[in-house]
Structure 1
Amino acid sequence: AAAVKSIKAKVSDIDKMKVEEQKKAARSGYDMDILPPDLVTYSNDAKTLLEDLQSRNERMFLLTFLVVNMAPTRRELDNDLFTVSGIVQKYNCTLKRLDFQQEDGFLSSLPLGHNGIEIKRGMTTSSTAIFVPFMTQELRMDGEAVYYGLNALSHNVIMANRKKLKNPNGLFLGVPGSGKSFAAKRELVNVFLATKDRIIVVDPMGEYSPLIRRLGGQVIEIAPDSPHHINPMDIDLSFDEENPMALKADFILSLMELIVGGKDGLQPVERTVIDRCVRQMYREHLQDPETSKMPTLQTLYDLLCSQPEGEAVRLATALEIYVSGSLNVFNHETNVDLNRRLVCLDLKKLGAGLRTIAMLIMQDLVNSQVSMNFLRGIATWCYFDEFHVLLRDRLTASYCVAIWKMLRKKGCVPSALTQNVKDFLASPEIENIFENSDFLVLLSQAQGDRQILAKQLGISPHQLSYVTHTNSGEGLLFFGNTTIPFVDRFPQNTELYAIMTTRPEDKKQEMNRA
């Protein structure tokens, strides 16, 4: 209000001066509209300023602008002052020396909140904002926040809590060697140290096993010669808000559809036969879950063989190789501890014939573990490395979409790691994974992926420079509506780095030291 009142008074003074000039023109006999240029400029500027304050949400600030110049000698100082004066004169400005006020000027320039110079100029919000040096977007949260590197512009620490996002789903994208696995492991370690949440890793390449073991977690090697076994028929009856029987039946139908194969999937009669066998299979266990044995694939196979329909024979024949044949990895009772805080599912030694089915079983395991943790009030962080493998098959891709859409409500924080954003644009359904991820770590990107990301995320050419031929551990972090370029220089002379790195040269050096 005081600023508006002051500007109105200035406008009145200028209008009064214009009237005096017009009277003078009338007495002299020349056109009254001819006014001094400076007076016209002052009038227009004052009216524009008044309009800004009244209708454009601008505020008036009194600003003292001080420039401190230092040099080792008087001669160099005079040269610097001459150079600076020449620069500001190009923009119609003038620098004036604070004669006999140098000490007050220097003290006023320090960040002490004290201004001893009574030379002030009124400026609007927009004009004042130009002089604010803090133009960098920052991300620093309290509580169970996790370290994500340093801001590439300000070098301030980036601390964020994904659980505070409306949608905590995340993606780590980058070309091979860009550091996406390392970035995910770094987040995993920080989550382990900063929270009490549970962590599950689906690891197709066996890269996470050393880290999980070092942190005291459970590594489950899924392979034909592995002593570790997971029973896909396991069922947990503690889900109060869901029907565990219906969920397990839906999973077994998906599993059998993957086993039987074919373009059209399971036929209606085959679905009916499978559903009937599933209900029979769990009937005894549901009646006495404490003492009865958990069903296995062998149980399902035996029930299929006993059905009268011809379709049951076809289903049993397709299942046989996974029961008594060379792919009987999952025809065993579970003998590993799935209640550890850290669980890693190592699929490195799994052959191509079992990999897709294993992925489906792992996803069902993740779903059940997330549900159990949710009932206990515990969040679950899930990491899916080499995510493109899951997206190749229609069934496993649909399970991934379900995880990204539904498990958020159960406190799940899923993360997918893959090389190309094109993997998420294969179909409208898979694209939902990309669209439902509010957390993105973009490391160095290929040319085609940069163009897609620029279009999908509205990334400017300047921001794209942070993911163009950058070093490992450098890129862009998307956290909700916040976009920050980051760098992460992890100390290489540490035990943690030796466990986390997958670079061949680092592994070779470690072996030589050993």
Structure 2
Amino acid sequence: MAGPDAKLTAAEKRRVKRSIQKAQRDGKIPRDAVQTIPYRELFPDGLMQVNDKLFTKTLRFSDINYELAQPEDKEQTFDGLCDFYNALDSSMWAQMSFLNLRANLIDYRKSVTVPGQGDGCDDVRRELETILQAQLAKGNNGLIKRKYFTFGIEADSGQAARPRVERIEADLRNHLKNMGVRSEPLSGYDRLEVLHGIFHPDGREKLRFNWDAVVNTGLSTKPFIAPSSFDFRGGRTFKIGGMWGAASFLQIGASQLNDRVLSDFLNLDCSQIVTIHIKAVNQQEAIKTIKRKLTDIEKTKIEEQKKAVRSGYDMDVLPPDLITYAGEAQTLLNSLQSRDERMFLATVLIVNLAPTRGQLENDVFQAASVAQKHNCALKRLDWQQEQGLMSSLPLGLNQIEIQRGLTTSSLAIFVPFTTEELFMDGEALYYGINALSSNLIMADRKRLKNPNGLFLGVPGSGKSFSAKREIANAFLTTKDDIIITDPEAEYAPLVNRLGGQVVQLSPVSTQYVNPMDINPDYSDEENPLTLKSDFILSLCELI
């Protein structure tokens, strides 16, 4: 056979070309970017046929305040997460996906735009908009962070898979609800939007798709989300269009992990996809496997003891590794049999994306530093970049055969929660910076469950300033009426600056309140005279 540096003859080149063409006809080698995307069909309700047998669906779930919670609340969340994983059947495929992708900066700045109203205060509105955009640049609001859970089962057809998928979906959402986590299933269009965002990580191009186009043209859904090109010729990197990427896997070598390992990866200020593939192992099979391992260890121990007797030294002196393996295997067996633990096979993948190769290497180095901090290692998937990227798509398909056995509690230590973000659009007011994520806090009280507010603090801590700032924000951003009751007369300068009306009520004031005043619109349901009479009688009783 010719060496790697030898030139091929014309006959050999023809044979290689025919082999490549045959593999392409058989579908083994993708011929274009569309064929590279590894799923068969997507239905409008969100059910996806990945291959001949596998059907999957995806849930989007929200974050909750975990990092700042009390220890007992953290423990309750951890227990709920263990129950969630224990609900996974061994016949299911499961995948946690965490997407931190760059947003379109122009669209994102529109969310903090303060439109003018032509009332003489537009110069102040421009100043407020400048401040908000400066705060936006300081945080990582340029990253859109989303969390997804994809699950799948094997079935002969979509019709057979749909009822069981719906039952599993209801059960999983109920477990998430018990932890205080909001979740919603993704429709077919939503899943296409997620995939389109991954394949266009610069955030500039928007998805243009409707289901009528699929029906009228006979095309699949993949051409609408496929990038301009994939380039996997590099063994350690790849390219999507003009963006560079690198796929790695997390080698878990630590004997114990803490609950910040996942959040440390997610808090990195870079575009990345963190994926955890989860496959539950049948409980009886897991116990049998561990018992077989214990039997093998005991056999090795007996052989070592016989060797010790023949050599004339103490038979209780055994190799340290053998003692360690025996103890760990026995502990694992006890956990599965008596502590409501189950066995899972997990694969942790991290895909970094960047506009330049230099920035990509820097982002991968930061992720490797986080892994090293937790006594783990981030290993590049050499010559498996395509499989690594496709396994990081929220499809429920794992093409990387690198798995680590974990118990329920060991898997739940990858807590997917940090802090709940509050960033609302529309007439939302600026309330500050999230201390954990450094993102803006933008909220519209009228759309919250409880619109009331209360400022508390020691004297001199800024209560009055905070109230005046919110009044100014409401005036500049919304068209709401603002009514201030001010016994200390400290808000009059602000009202005068904003062009409002100050009504002074005092024994020496020339302005009065007429309790007898009434108009026909005083009440829509009851007699206005009756209501006004009741009010005057109540006023007289108070006086």
The TM-score with structure 2 as length reference comes to 0.33
Determine which structure has the larger helix proportion and give its number: 1
